[in-house]
Amino acid sequence: MLVDTYNQEGKKTGQSQLPKEIFGIEINPDLVHQVAVSQMANRRIAIAHTKNRSEVRGGGRKPWRQKGTGRARHGSRRSPIWKGGGVVFGPRKDRNFKKKINDKMRVKALFMVLSGKANDKELIVLDDLLIEIPKTKIMKQILNNLPMKSSSCLIALAKKDEKLLLSLRNISQTAVVPAKDLNALDLLSFKYLILPKESINIIKENFLKK
């Protein structure tokens, strides 16, 4: 598959050949959905947490004696039926939302989303992406030069570049990810994918062998 290649000024400099085994496969929406749901579940962190009767404060003494008071018997103020007592069946922070997904399915879904980006003209290939000084203004101008129509974008870098990371961190609707860590969920979260040419080789080396 041939796609246009751009420089940082937004001018076409030629075309790049994308490997068809990554960017030219048939899309299976059910598989992509299954993988995306599993990745969202694996990132989920349980925050809500209620205390049961063994965790709430107090209750070391029997509220009143067992017999002779005319009231119902109680053994502890930490009982769930008391105000301030423990909570029964409440949300707990030790819940496990993990979903297992095979590597073969995960990689296949990634290739399908990459193919969808290429088919929908939402993949932008750059000759290179380099800046001399880390300035958000410079990076924003580079993004404005590209045919993205001010939409959200994900930038996949071949290697870590501290100047680029510093320049991009304050730009809204923009994120950076190492090319070797690309996944279907991150790609689906952004409209456009920006790939420097070097990143395409990293994707081939890291995912095709799987």
pLDDT digits (tens, 9 = 90+) for 136-175: 999 999 999 998 877 899 999 999 889 999 999 999 999 9
Set out the domains of the chain in order of their start, with CATH numbers. Answer: 2-44+98-208 (3.40.1370.10), 46-96 (no CATH)
Q: Per-residue confidence at 210, pLDDT binned at 50, 70, 90?
A: low
pLDDT digits (tens, 9 = 90+) for 92-121: 998 999 999 999 999 999 999 999 999 999
pTM comes to 0.83
pLDDT the model gives residue 148:
84
Tell me: pLDDT of 199 over 60: yes
State the Cα angle at 154 between 148 and 159, rounded to 5°: 125
Helix axes 103-119, 29-43, angle to 10 degrees: 120
Q: What is the mean pLDDT of the chain?
A: 92
pLDDT digits (tens, 9 = 90+) for 22-71: 999 999 999 999 999 999 999 999 999 999 999 999 888 899 999 999 99
For residue 164, the tally of other CB atoms under 10 A from its CB is 18
Q: Per-residue confidence at 185, pLDDT binned at 50, 70, 90?
A: very high
